[in-house]
Amino acid sequence: MSATEIISTEPASGAVLWRGAAGNAAHEVALARAAWAAWAAQPLAVRIETLRRFANVVRSRLDTFADLIARETGKPLWEARTEVESVVNKVDISVSAYAERTAQRRFEGALGAKSALRHKPHGVLAVLGPFNFPAHLPNGHIVPALIAGNAVVFKPSEKTPATGAFLVECYHAAGVPEGIVRLLIGGPDEGRALAAEPGIDGLLFTGSARAGMALHRQFAETPNKILALELGGNNPLVVWDTPDIASAAVIAVQSAYMSAGQRCTAARRLIVKDGAHEPLIAEIGRLIDRIIVDHPHADPAPFMGPVIDNATADHVQESFLDLILKGGRPIKQMARRDADRPFLSPALIDVTGISARPDEEIFGPVLQIIRVADFDAAITEANNTRFGLSASLVSGSPDLYDRFWGNIRAGIVNWNRPTNGAPSNAPFGGVGLSGNHRPSAYYAADYCAYPVVSSEADQPRASIGVGLRDG
């Protein structure tokens, strides 16, 4: 690959899927800057109708879009279809969110005074997208940004540029002006250049905590620009005093291994009662043995596909081996059936014996077991992380859930549901290293427009009642 070319290959086969030249951040921002005022001046109803046409375009191309996502990410075709459906559904959800979160309001004051609350777009927003949900997650930023009247320069992950290009083409096919959604192809250099562009009014990012911290430092000297960070998690799943071991095991498998563990909300740590954990671990092991790991279009359909690329597979394997070297006891070893392809089997490891457990997000199919003595220790262990995105309790006790909800530090707290179960019509975000208090999804409207408060009167009426000499 040359320095100016981005090549996308299918993780499952290694076949070249897409190739294109890297773009220029300054050029794309300039085009968006020139176009955004006209878009912002359009009535809200026009912008909404344009986005509804976008939803119809994506709906008409669902099969093609899903096939592309499956090939480029390696995720099963059934999962890619649900991602495209989320892209479609995001429009109606964002319309409702904009009406609720940024509604116009008027207030009556004393002596007939009137005040108004309205919202304005920021201008040109940069969007940096991730590879794990290469359509749904950036779309979750772009749609509310466009409804609010912003222009967008979107840089997809260099690992999923084909999906990003397809998504942008759908916007344009629906009538979103080409200057209002610009596609920037490139790698980390182009991403850094886009973030540093003086012509952007903010940046919306979904990705790793390390990259998010770098952006936070970069934006420290530009408080005039909005920065919304949606980062990762070292998410706990606590299973405690539940009689339904089979369901608890299913929830653990769904939490840890869906999308090959490449979800920011995936369970990384399974916290259980020491001495009562064996039936649960055995049932999880039986489910792991039944999981189909295969290419996206395989028949029967796989539960999970490969991780995104060989470098990621190498890193996940090294992280698993490091846990063993630190004293972890593997229960299900991680296997890689083909050294040239990034297919990993689900791994399960007891790390209770590791005194200083690494507080890292292993972005792959690895679930770490931690045994504790009592429920207070379970909550303490669940909070033993710099992250705070998602947490879940599996238990038949409402009282335990009340204690869990009241004491856990996370933006998503579930009960008898997987850690990665988050509704699209609610805010999505976390605390700690999981974000910067700018939750996305339903609350994305909050960072796509800023409030403007006005004191208003039909005629100028003013007097100064004190502090003036007689005239």
Please report how the helices 44-60 and 62-73 are oriented relative to each other, as an axis angle in degrees rounded to 10: 70
Please report how the helices 398-407 and 375-382 are oriented relative to each other, as an axis angle in degrees rounded to 10: 40
Residue whose pair of structure tokens reads 């009538």 in the numeric block? 175
DSSP alpha helices (H): ranges in 106-160? 136-148
Q: Is 411 found in the same domain as 314? A: yes
Q: Is 310 found in the same domain as 288? A: yes
Q: Which of 230, 283, 361, 381 is catalytic?
A: 230
Residue whose pair of structure tokens reads 């038949």 in the numeric block? 396
Active site residue 264: yes
Q: Is 278 found in the same domain as 145? A: no
- For residue 328, what is the enclosing H or E element? none
Assess if residue 277 is contained within a domain: yes
Assess if residue 168 is contained within a domain: yes
- Amino acid 463: pLDDT: 87
Assess if residue 428 is contained within a domain: no
- Give the pLDDT means over successive 10-residue stretches in the chain (471 positions): 80 97 98 98 98 98 98 98 98 97 86 87 98 98 98 98 98 98 97 97 96 94 96 97 96 98 98 96 98 98 98 98 98 95 98 95 98 98 98 97 98 97 89 96 96 88 89 74
Q: Is 439 found in the same domain as 385? A: no
- Amino acid 154: pLDDT: 98
- Amino acid 74: pLDDT: 98
Q: Which of 79, 264, 283, 361 is catalytic?
A: 264
CATH number of the domain encompassing residue 253: 3.40.309.10
Q: Is 13 found in the same domain as 127? A: yes
Neighbour tally for 217: CB within 10 Å: 9
| Residue-by-residue DSSP string for 161-192 | HHHHHHHHHHHHHTT--TTTEEE----HHHHH
Give the range of the structural domain holding residue 255, as residue numbers without chain letter: 235-415
Assess if residue 466 is contained within a domain: no
CATH number of the domain encompassing residue 124: 3.40.605.10
Q: Is 146 found in the same domain as 90? A: yes
- Amino acid 212: pLDDT: 95
- Amino acid 1: pLDDT: 38
Cα Rg of the chain, angstroms: 24
Across-strand partners of 440? 428
Q: Is 213 found in the same domain as 198? A: yes
Q: Is 249 found in the same domain as 125? A: no
Q: Is 291 found in the same domain as 211? A: no
Please report how the helices 161-173 and 136-148 are oriented relative to each other, as an axis angle in degrees rounded to 10: 30
Assess if residue 445 is contained within a domain: yes
Q: Is 342 found in the same domain as 215? A: no
- Amino acid 456: pLDDT: 85
Q: Is 139 found in the same domain as 72? A: yes
Q: What is the dihedral of CA 397, 367, 128, 209, to 10 degrees?
A: 90
Assess if residue 424 is contained within a domain: no
Q: Is 143 found in the same domain as 265? A: no
- Amino acid 2: pLDDT: 41
Task: Give the span between the Cα atoms of 440 and 463, in whole angstroms.
Answer: 46
The number of folded domains in the chain is: 2
Q: Are 145 and 125 in contact (CB under 8 A)?
A: yes
Task: Give the span between the Cα atoms of 398 and 404, in whole angstroms.
Answer: 10
- Reduce the DSSP state of residue 202 to 3 states and report it: strand
Q: Are 101 and 177 in contact (CB under 8 A)?
A: no
- Amino acid 40: pLDDT: 98
State the number of CA atoms in the 13 A half-sphere of 34 facing the CB. 9
Tokens describing residue 346:
């689900």
Active site residue 278: no
Assess if residue 360 is contained within a domain: yes
